[in-house]
Amino acid sequence: MRVVLTREAGLNDAARAWFSDEDQVDEVALSETVSVTDEEFAAAVARLGSRRFRALVVTSARAAARAAPLAARCDRVLSVGSATSGALGQRGVAVSAEAPGAEALAGLITEGPVLAVGAREPRRELDEALARAGIELVRLVAYETTLRCLGQSDRDRLAAADVVLVGAPSAWRAAREHVRASAWVVVPGPTTAAAVRADHERVLIAWGPELAARRDQLAGGRAQGA
């Protein structure tokens, strides 16, 4: 089975263990992430003054390092996904609640103001849901992710893959025109699944040990519960 892992270089090691030695596993980084400078982030925090928040929302493990020191001024810490919760836990931050996506996270918030730390251009579901509820949301930018311009060898690897792991909707935008219709696209949760299903039928929500357990189904082309 030909598998393509699409996170940035150095972030695919755990995913390799979800597949067999019989599989041909390649990497094609679909995006590049650049953290904001310490000075830029410190200036944004300074503009908050002494404000306290009812909740701190962390939407990505990439934002955990910047978000962790802000937990002390928030009543609760809410995260999107187990990877984010784990990254916060490694920094001594207790997560009050975890949701699979930003939209589900909004249902856990009943009071504001809310402080969110994440990407420069985040998905808008959380902003829209909190705006409808009249809850103030303040965002701090921790990083910016841009899509890579793929070379021919990267496009060829994606086109040949039987299984492609896609971790975010933005990554799918970079991959979709190169992934063949018969390939399985494996995603971590419903937000990315919805983005992929707009263009592609074969989608499976499975990540980590759960994906390893379903490897044989993928190899046989008959994964269930997609």
State residue 80's pLDDT score. Answer: 87
Residue type for position 192: T
HSE-up (13 A, CA, CB side) for residue 184: 24
3-state secondary structure of 2: strand
Enumerate the CATH 3.40.50.10090 domain ranges in the chain, comma separated: 2-30+148-219, 34-145
State residue 9's pLDDT score. Answer: 78
CATH of domain 34-145: 3.40.50.10090
pTM of the complete model: 0.69
Each residue's pLDDT expressed in tens, for the chain with a length of 226 residues: 999 999 887 878 888 889 988 999 999 999 888 899 999 999 999 999 999 999 999 988 889 999 999 999 999 999 988 889 999 999 999 999 998 777 788 889 999 999 999 988 887 888 999 999 999 999 999 998 888 889 999 999 999 999 999 988 888 999 999 999 999 999 988 878 999 999 999 999 988 888 888 888 888 775 655 5
Domain 2-30+148-219 part of CATH 2.130.10.10: no
State residue 224's pLDDT score. Answer: 55
CA 165 to CA 17: how far, in whole Å?
Answer: 13
Give residue for tokens 């393509």: 4
State residue 134's pLDDT score. Answer: 95
Neighbours of 213 (CB within 10 A): 11
